[in-house]
Structure 1
Amino acid sequence: MSQDTYAKVFHLIDSAHGEDPKKVTVNGKETPYELLYSNKMSNYLEKRDPSASIVLQVAIRAQHLRRWEVPRDSYPMTKVGYHGWRTFLKKRQAELARQMCLDSGFQADEADRVGHLIRKEDLKQDQETQILEDVACLVFLDDQFEQFETQHDEAKIISILRKTWGKMTERGHDLAFEIPMSDRCKELVTKAVSGD
């Protein structure tokens, strides 16, 4: 795969992220949220696997591709609705990314592999899918957990943390303990991990 092909697909992905209407302010600068999210995904991939393949790097960067176009409330606000929404998003995002790869000059098998990873197929058996899951969990803990903690009761938070922890590898756990968190969030993570 040529450097031009790699650069083109990243440009397409980041341009799509740049259209996210949700903005956040970072260091005094307004940034589309999904662009910030995808950069965090890439940064955590560098920590988790510095020698990651290009297809994994692309899948990591494209994991939330155009996610804002299918809001959570477009599905029933139930557990079943949530899982339906997540399943649809994974398939949609995988196909969008696969097409961007083909448009950039990827071989069909490489583009298919990107889609496979974004759909998180063969989790626990496929090492690259597991790395993507580790990275997604790390970005949740880094980027969303502080706000999430204020919106739910302790029992639900601990339940979610235990599920998150169970999806991760030991290397993912080690990196999670390095994330700067408030004392309250650290306390909740400790409770979840220790089983208290």
Structure 2
Amino acid sequence: MSPRKQAVLDAIDAANAKDPNLEDGQPAALLYGQRMSAELDRLFPDASDALTIAARGQHVERWKLARTEFPEGRAGYLAWRKAQGVHHAEIVMGLMELSEYGAEDTEAAGRMLRKQGLKRDDEVQALEDVICFVFLKWYFAPFAAKHSAEKIQSIVEKTARKMSAEGRSRVLEEFDLPANLAAAFQA
């Protein structure tokens, strides 16, 4: 790994180590970033520096922009998510600039984190597929335990719609989902 890529990843980890929210005894954002990197390495072992950095920075300093600062309901949730994407992109792009990445790589990482080009840009789509795998692998079961069957079905369908055909196919190969949930990935 190049020293400049390692420097950016280390800076993201240092920022995420300050997350006051803990999961498995670790700062939640730090653990999430490590999970994103592990899934990216597994699913896309030849990922570019920009994609590698975007994956690690997907939730950088996520706790600083609280969901409660936005209105209730779907519109408020979507506004919060969009603001998070902008926030993550700004931080990651700044760290990349400090490590002397050029404008092309820096802008690419920003686009990925803002989800600009989903379904049209291969790297934006790759990041989204990794996000979905991380959700399914580590966060779906705790989420499902707290929600109704209808809400779970809806979230699984939304997750599947965001993924590439290859990503959906891999989900069916790698996860043992009930038939009603697996159907969302068969489209």
TM-score (norm 1): 0.88
Name the aligned partner's letter for residue 96 of structure 1: I
Please say if residues 138 and 175 of structure 1, whose CA atoms lie closer than 8 Å, have aligned partners that are also in contact. Answer: no
Deviation per CA, 1:87-116: give whole Å up to 9, x if none.
111011101110010011111222111111
Shift of 1:117: 1.1
Q: What is the DSSP-based 3-state SS (H/G/I as helix, E as strand, rest coil) of the residue aligned with 1:20?
A: coil
Deviation per CA, 1:134-193: give whole Å up to 9, x if none.
001111111211111122211121111111111112321233235566xxx645523544
Q: 1:37 matched to which residue of 2?
A: 32
CA RMSD of aligned residues (A): 1.9
Query: Percent of counterpart pairs with the same letter?
Result: 34
Please say if residues 172 and 185 of structure 2, whose CA atoms lie closer than 8 Å, have aligned partners that are also in contact. Answer: no
Write the distance in 2 (CA, Å) between the matches of 1:175 and 1:13: 29
Q: What is the DSSP-based 3-state SS (H/G/I as helix, E as strand, rest coil) of the residue aligned with 1:161?
A: helix
TM-score (norm 2): 0.92
Q: 2:22 matched to which residue of 1?
A: 23
Q: 1:150 aligns with which of 145, 153, 177?
A: 145
Provide closer, same or farther for how the CA distance between residues 59 and 21 of structure 1 changes in structure 2, counting only shifts above 3 A: same
Please say if residues 45 and 60 of structure 1, whose CA atoms lie closer than 8 Å, have aligned partners that are also in contact. Answer: yes
**Unpaired runs of at least 5, structure 1:** none
Write the distance in 1 (CA, Å) between the matches of 2:58 and 2:143: 20
Write the distance in 2 (CA, Å) between the matches of 1:191 and 1:149: 17
Q: 1:10 matched to which residue of 2?
A: 9
Q: 1:190 matched to which residue of 2?
A: 182
Please say if residues 37 and 55 of structure 2, whose CA atoms lie closer than 8 Å, have aligned partners that are also in contact. Answer: yes
Deviation per CA, 1:58-90: give whole Å up to 9, x if none.
011101110011121111121110001001110
Please say if residues 48 and 172 of structure 1, whose CA atoms lie closer than 8 Å, have aligned partners that are also in contact. Answer: no
Write the distance in 1 (CA, Å) between the matches of 2:146 and 2:137: 16
Write the distance in 2 (CA, Å) between the matches of 1:92 and 1:36: 19
**Unpaired runs of at least 5, structure 2:** none
- Which 4+ residue blocks in structure 1 deviate beyond 3 angstroms? 177-181, 185-188, 191-195
Q: 2:90 matched to which residue of 1?
A: 95
Provide closer, same or farther for how the CA distance between residues 142 and 165 of structure 1 changes in structure 2, counting only shifts above 3 A: same
